Amino acid sequence: MNRFDFVVGNPPWLTYAAVSNGEYQGLLRQLSDSYAVTPVARANMPHLEIAAIFLAHAVNYFLKAAGQLVFVLPRSFLSADQHDNTRTGVIEGVKLTQAWDLDGVSPLFRVPSCTLFAVRSQDEQRQIPPAGIPGLALAGRLPRAQIYWNEAEDKLRIAPVRWFCSRLQGGRGAARSALTTQSMEALVGSNAYASRFYQGATIVPRNFFFVEIDQPVRRGENIRDRIVALRTAAAADREAKRPWKGQKLSGRAEGSLLFRTAISRNIIPFALVDPPLVVLPLVLETDADAQERFKLLDAEGLLEEGFPYGSAWFFEAEKCWDRDKTDLNRENKTNLSSYLN
């Protein structure tokens, strides 16, 4: 305790919600609360990377008074709402001093990444100063992900940048922040859609919903009125975390249960790029006011509505979910369809 000049590491890239052990999740929450890592908005807690808790604990527990820490982290630490406390100096004892943006380097990790530098500081003024903090932006194409620095160095473009903790007014009057390479203190306003959403779009576990068509289909062919052979999308399983990784489904479903969705890699300004295919237990209904609404069903409900193939698919998915869901979801009796909802 408090014996180290430097801590350099790569903490677990795992969200709080993905921790399946209830006792360990409770311990993480205690640490998160004690270091002021816990997001103000409860809806953001499930998405909190436990790396933020590791960062706070490593700085406060291991470092000497003037010690320094460097962690490789998901790039969400630069802008995601759940990591606002890390960026704004709220976390006990943690002051950010430098940041490297690794988003332009490929191949590297499965998700965009960054590197944050921090020092142990008992000063009340832990916020990033108005003049910003120094950093780098790295970009380049590597021959493979796992190589030594002396082989990678001449393949990378490294540019010095300045990072500012920019603030803007979020939905419902909430303040938001992001680390940006230009100061945007004057940028205020609210997202016009904020009141329409409980949280960001999530369809998880993806292995149950993100699919590929497992049969020949001619270009432009309408499959909405057909029975279609499906399998778990390879990309979904490749990016999955335990316990869902390796749990691949295959079978058939009615074409009317197929939809397109989008995750971050599919979104560019004002357009979608190759939105992935998902199978969802949704049927479109028209109410008494002639308004169309989606009705969410479970496997039994799909069977009652006349979707025997989709029912069989989601019966298998529900069986996997009930077997491996977290202790908290088990305690709350959360089934797959309510989790999707």
Interatomic CA distance for residues 238 and 111, integer angstroms: 11
pLDDT of residue 11: 94
Under 8 Å CB-to-CB from 8, ≥6 apart: which residues?
69, 70, 71
pLDDT of residue 171: 45
pLDDT of residue 173: 45
Q: Taking the C-alpha atoms of 39, 1, 73 and 339 in order, what is their torsion angle to the nearest 10 degrees?
A: -40
pLDDT in tens, 106-163: 999 988 999 999 999 877 788 999 899 999 999 999 999 889 999 999 999 999 999 9
Interatomic CA distance for residues 48 and 332, integer angstroms: 20
- Joined tokens for residue 309: 């193939």
Q: Which pTM was predicted? A: 0.60
Shortest CA distance to 58 belongs to which of 84, 77, 79, 86? Answer: 86
- The CATH topology of domain 4-196 is Rossmann fold (3.40.50)
Direct distance between the N- and C-terminal alpha carbons of the chain, in angstroms, rounded to an integer: 44
Q: Residue ranges per domain, the chain?
A: 4-196, 206-340
For the chain, which ranges sit under pLDDT 70?
Answer: 168-175, 185-191, 197-201
pLDDT in tens, 196-219: 766 666 899 999 999 999 999 888
pLDDT of residue 210: 97
